[in-house]
Chains A and B, each alone.
Chain A
Amino acid sequence: MLTLNSRSIRIWAWIHKWTSLISTLFILMLCITGLPLVFEHEIEHAMMPELEQVSADIPSPSLDSILASAEANRPNEQALYFILDKDDPLALVITAESTMAGPDDLYYQAFNLRNGHKIDMPQPTEGIMYVIKKLHVDMFAGLPGMLFLGGMTILMLIAIISGVVLYTPFMRKLEFSEIRQSKGQRTRWLDLHNLLGIVTVVWLFVVGLTGAINTLAMPIEQVWQATELIDMASTHKDKPVTSQLASLDIVAENLRKERPDLTLLTIAMPNTPFASPHHYGLYMVGATAVTSRLLTPALADAGTGDITSLREMPMYVKALFISQPLHFGDYGGLPLKILWVILDLLTIVVVVSGLYLWIVRRKSKVNIAQLANNNEEPE
């Protein structure tokens, strides 16, 4: 076990100082942009008009007719994805000029599933929430940006661990949550930093770790596509490509028969990266708290609509999916989101107070290690 002698305190203090300093500005950006993102879903829904109510005895239009509407609205484009909303009778159709289009070239249209009417909504790739999200996810720098932020987050995790170690010497003579208000600026800000730091440890570590895992989303997707998806589609490898596509409604019905316990969320059209030249790609979720966050993939023959492959996602993909609710805080209703925001604000105070303590230490020329060593007795 590590003894907390003068030398190890110096080492841990050095680790804490440098991992904090290097990552501070990025962590602050992540915390600040994270605040409105907790309510992303609510904000999105607020920006959409009310869904027209349709009486239950009027049958819904077919999914095919909605797809056709969407494609008719965009003459030079083809449909890539058909996405069904989890909570409302809403469908999102994504079109683009080519099946290999990047995220910037996609066009989004929303339709009321109950009457097939197009819903007037802004493109999700425009507006302030889009800017905030891009800053948070990759600082507009794509995969390198995501991985960089993942790296900064790992530095933060090391800062947290070293911070917990350093808590020891500082709390030798203080009661828990004691803040020495009557002493100087540095002392009271130090006590505040230590208090807020230690109470947010678990929450921040989980949000940070799951955030870092989320930065691996693209590589994880690519590995899955190159291994599992190809394997799932391999039955049709040498067959000719069909020209007449099967009805979406037939595909959805086949899926319901095969797995009545699952809800279809996304249909990837043939030739898109999450399908195959011969198949529709289908992505479903379960009904329980955990399974509603785990996608189950399936492939349907593009010509007949028969389900040709259905399997669980591998562990590394499930790890990514479980990291999402734990990072976003959107899995426990509104009270959980409010607690998430409060903990985020407390984290901002930890980060800012830490930065303040580093800036003012220059005046007194006393560093973390010396302060800590003053409290700690020699072993």
Chain B
Amino acid sequence: MKSNSKSLGKIFKTPLLIAFASALGLLFALLSDGVFDVLSWLLLSVPVYASRGLLKFKSNKNISMNQKTQKAQYESLN
């Protein structure tokens, strides 16, 4: 394997932690009320937090909106 390729363990390290937190979170609220519910909310927030990259996701085409507007303005002047 090339040196910049990750091993299986490295690839799955964070996903496994998130999976473990999720499983424990699902289980805790089922086992008991009170503090176990709160622990469950914290644990199940882990996968949600891990997905925050979605908020910065740019789904539009290659050129950003600013560049598009500038380009249109330039063209309308000429």
The 8 Å CB contact of A203, one of B2, B8, B44, is B44
Instruction: Give how many A-B residue pairs fall within 8 Å (CB-CB).
Output: 111
- Chain B nearest CB: distance from A27 CB in Å? 18
Q: Does A195 contact B (CB under 8 A)?
A: yes
Q: Beyond A203-B26, A289-B36, A343-B44: 13 further Cβ-contacts under 8 Å?
A: A167-B15, A171-B11, A185-B62, A189-B59, A195-B54, A199-B47, A200-B51, A202-B47, A206-B26, A332-B41, A333-B29, A343-B47, A343-B48
How long is the Cα–Cα vector from A168 to B8 in the complex, in angstroms? 7
Q: Which 6 pairs of residues, A with B, have the shortest CB-CB distance?
A: A332-B29, A202-B22, A176-B14, A199-B47, A335-B41, A199-B50
- Chain B nearest CB: distance from A192 CB in Å? 6
Contacts of B29 in A (CB 8 A): 289, 331-333, 336
Q: Across the interface, name the chain B residue whose C-beta is closest to A189.
A: B59
Contacts of B15 in A (CB 8 A): 167, 176, 198-199, 201
A window 336-376: CB within 8 A of B: 336, 339, 342-343, 346, 349
Contacts of A192 in B (CB 8 A): 53-54, 57
A172 touches B48 (CB 8 A): no
Q: Does A158 contact B (CB under 8 A)?
A: no
Main secondary structure on B side of the interface with A: helix
Q: Does A196 contact B (CB under 8 A)?
A: yes
Indicate the member of A200, A202, A339, A343 with the most B CB atoms within 10 Å: A202
A202 touches B19 (CB 8 A): yes
Q: Across the interface, name the chain A residue whose C-beta is closest to B19.
A: A202
Contact digits for B1-32, partner A, Cβ 8 Å, 1 yes 0 no: 11011101001111100110011001001111
Q: Does B61 contact A (CB under 8 A)?
A: yes
Indicate the member of B5, B26, B36 with the most A CB atoms within 10 Å: B26
B32 touches A289 (CB 8 A): yes
User: 12 pairs across A/B with beta carbons < 8 Å?
Assistant: A172-B5, A179-B57, A198-B18, A199-B51, A201-B15, A201-B19, A202-B22, A332-B37, A336-B41, A339-B45, A342-B48, A349-B54
Q: Does A105 contact B (CB under 8 A)?
A: no
Q: Does A55 contact B (CB under 8 A)?
A: no
- Chain B nearest CB: distance from A293 CB in Å? 8
A173 touches B30 (CB 8 A): no
